[in-house]
A and B are shown apart, each in its own frame.
Chain A
Amino acid sequence: MTDLQSSMELLTRLNGLAAGLFLLTAFGMIAMRQVLACLNLFVWQSILLAASALILGFQHGSVHLFVVAAITLCTKSVLIPWLLARVVRQEAYARREISQVLNIPTSLLLGMALVILAYFASSALLVSSQDPFVRINLPVGTAGVFLGAYAVVVRREAVPQVIGLLAMENGSFLAGVCIAPDLPIIAELAAAFDVLIIALVMGLLTKRIRERTGMTAVGKLASLKED
């Protein structure tokens, strides 16, 4: 009995560690100016998401979550960086982003406000569950979604915007692995496929934009607007 309890305790702590680091990477994506550093952080975030799925798999004893962890690792930390690197040339990666819409200290402060918002938004939902994993993953996942959305809004370069979008999905799935651990495998596979298509489509579009306009700062494309 004590064995079971202590192993449960350990898993909870490990999951807490993974989720904490997940939140840190989400902040890192806002703070980084280098496009390549952003991508590396995204890879780490995906690995942490897979780790969380793995830990929950041990806790529930479910093979299903192991498969989810494997799918996440394959698509998000291997295939997507490879795809983006293939499609968008290295030059667009190595670029430093000089002008974010807001500067970084302001961004980090706003990011903290978003995390607090996410915490309150999800605390209303937590009344219906006592599961210690849900209590960690749901607020952190929601915060991941909000921080990703923030990154998309303030970034001007194309690749960081794509990474922001993918980070939003990561946030949703971090919440998802604990609140919907038995989602049908076909839905998980389709979602992974969908994320791949996002990376492919947006990568190709970035390439086309660079060919046509000679830049990848999509935030500066503003000819279509109301006068």
Chain B
Amino acid sequence: MELLPVLLVPALSALLCAAPIRGRLAPFSTVVGCLVVFFISIHVALTTITRGHVTAFPGWISCDSFGALVLLLVAFVGLTASIFSLGYIRGVLPQEREGKKRRYYARFNLFLLSMLAVPLLSHVALVWIAVELTTLLSVFLVSFEDTPEALEAAWKYVVLTCMGAALALLGILILYWGMKITGRGDFTWSGLIVASSEIPGPLLQTAFLFILVGFGTKVGLVPVHTWLPDAHSQAPSPVCALLSGIETTTVLYAIIRLLPTLQGPGGQGPGGWLMAAGLVSAGTAAFLLLQVKDYKRLFAFSTVEHMGIIIFAAGIGGTSAYYGASLQIVAHSVTKAFCFFAAGSTLLVVGRREIASVKGLVRTSKPAALALLVGGLAIAGAPPFAVFLGEFSILKAGIQSGQEIPTMALAAFIVIAFCGVMYHVNRMVFGSPEIEPARVRLPASVLVALGISAIPVFLLGGCVPGALEEMLRLAAASFGR
């Protein structure tokens, strides 16, 4: 029964935020709710290590180690984003817009609720609905700033991802048909694995193709990624951290859950397709990174690149590649959230989004400059950060499994992306400004959020704690059968 509060608490906070009460109730209840959800998630994660899974309603709501890993990520990034929101929203919104502030926090909670639901639901049709809701509940967060650009980004976001969801729906209905033909079990992730050997091959493959394209739209796989840099750059920064850090991850989770069903006896498995999709995404994003003019778009393209890397790793197959992929999922989520917090701090200090307008940030605000530098290094994959460890283990697994040429291509793309990110970040942090700018102080809550979200970025690069290592191993095991 630990799982229900995870869903009830954000729902309750959303209600409290929507209540027309002046003052600090909305931000306060959001942060407290996120804190509660985070502690429950830790408890759930530890329980899954010892017991294997936590079940609230068999066949509907349950959670194994892979689910708990994603749950933990969502809860952690949600917590830091809620703290970051305190200072950020106060900074960008005039004091008298009480109603708009309350709406922001209410939507924030609802969006978080939909993302928490994805790893907890085990009925596949309901997972589809939860994924669709993650889009619908975040549209108005993307368009929060109400500029024509933000509205354009929100429109592209909702149209493309809903198209993807409609394609995925057809795929899921075909999967259900396959389950019915075998005449057994519940329509859950684990039920699918059991039944998959009896589901006719063409049915499984067609369903998977529809779901890969459909959910791939939301993950940001090239060529259906076009909405992603727009939405992830126009939304307020804490929302960007949610969109880029964990929304993509939760949808990726739904795709990866399907992989074991395709690895039946005699089945060809989708490895080649996934590797191709991953390489194309990582490659395109690496080159697009070089020419960005907006620093939030820089990090958005880096998300496309990392999603490509993870899909590629899932395509290689084998225990070590799967371990690398799950490590990379964790590393990307925490690091990308940190990067967007750094970008948000920069935006608070400078007030503009163009890379060219930020020069010598280190003279304006030391914390923002430091965060941007660390975030850039960490997300580009420099040692000793978490992303480096993930990318390194994926490349190693690729070479070991005899996929030298695609792995080398991926390594080249990673290097190009590294140069792209560091070139832009370097210009922003150092460089000499034309006029000596005034020093700007960041709000305390922004600094706290930066501090908390930096912990795993550093920690996971040095050593992975024992419990987390065990979770990663269990999660990697659920990539295959």
Contacts and interface: CB of A to CB of B under 8 A. Distances in A.
Given A149-B163, A187-B129, A179 B174 contact: yes
Given A180-B180, A224-B149, A227-B293, A194 B230 contact: no
A113 interface: no
Interface in B119-150: 123, 125-126, 129, 132-133, 136, 139-140, 143, 146-149
B152 interface: yes
A208 B129 contact: no
Contacts of A221: 148, 151-152, 155
B63 interface: no
A105 interface: no
Contact of B200 (A128, A197, A209, A213): A128
B170 interface: yes
A11 interface: no
A208 B143 contact: yes
Contact of B166 (A121, A169, A205): A169
Interface string A212-227: 1100001001111011
B177 interface: yes
Closest 9 CB pairs of A and B: A168-B166, A179-B177, A221-B152, A187-B125, A180-B176, A176-B173, A172-B169, A224-B230, A128-B200
Interface string B344-385: 000000000000000000000000000000000000000000
Interface stretch (A50-58, A83-91, A140-148): A140-148
B155 A205 contact: yes
A152 B323 CA distance: 39
B31 interface: no
A133 to B, nearest CB: 12
B79 interface: no
Given A187-B126, A194-B129, A194-B132, 7 more contacts: A128-B181, A141-B170, A165-B166, A172-B169, A175-B173, A180-B180, A197-B136
Contacts of B219: none
B122 to A, nearest CB: 13
A201 B158 contact: yes
Given A168-B163, A224-B149, A184 B200 contact: no
B3 interface: no
B299 to A, nearest CB: 15
B203 A125 contact: yes
Q: In this complex, which of B146, B152, B180, B206 has the most chain A Cβ atoms within 10 angstroms of its Cβ?
A: B152
Interface on chain A toward B: helix, strand, loop, or mixed SS?
helix
B288 interface: yes
A227 B288 CA distance: 10
A182 B183 CA distance: 12
A213 B148 contact: yes
A202 interface: yes
A190 interface: yes
A172 B166 contact: yes
Contacts of B133: 194, 197
Interface in A96-139: 121, 124-125, 127-129
Q: In this complex, which of A168, A182, A222 has the most chain B Cβ atoms within 10 angstroms of its Cβ?
A: A168
A179 B178 CA distance: 9
Contacts of A201: 136, 139-140, 158
Nearest to A169: B166
Contacts of A197: 133, 136
Contacts of B173: 172, 175-176, 179-180, 183
5 contacts: A179-B177, A180-B180, A191-B169, A198-B136, A205-B140
B203 A212 contact: no
Nearest to A206: B155
B146 A208 contact: yes
Contact of B152 (A145, A152, A202, A223): A223
Nearest to A220: B152
Contact of A182 (B147, B159, B180, B229): B180
Contacts of B206: 121, 124-125
B82 interface: no
Contact of A127 (B149, B162, B200): B200
A224 B152 contact: yes
A30 to B, nearest CB: 15
Interface string B49-92: 00000000000000000000000000000000000000000000
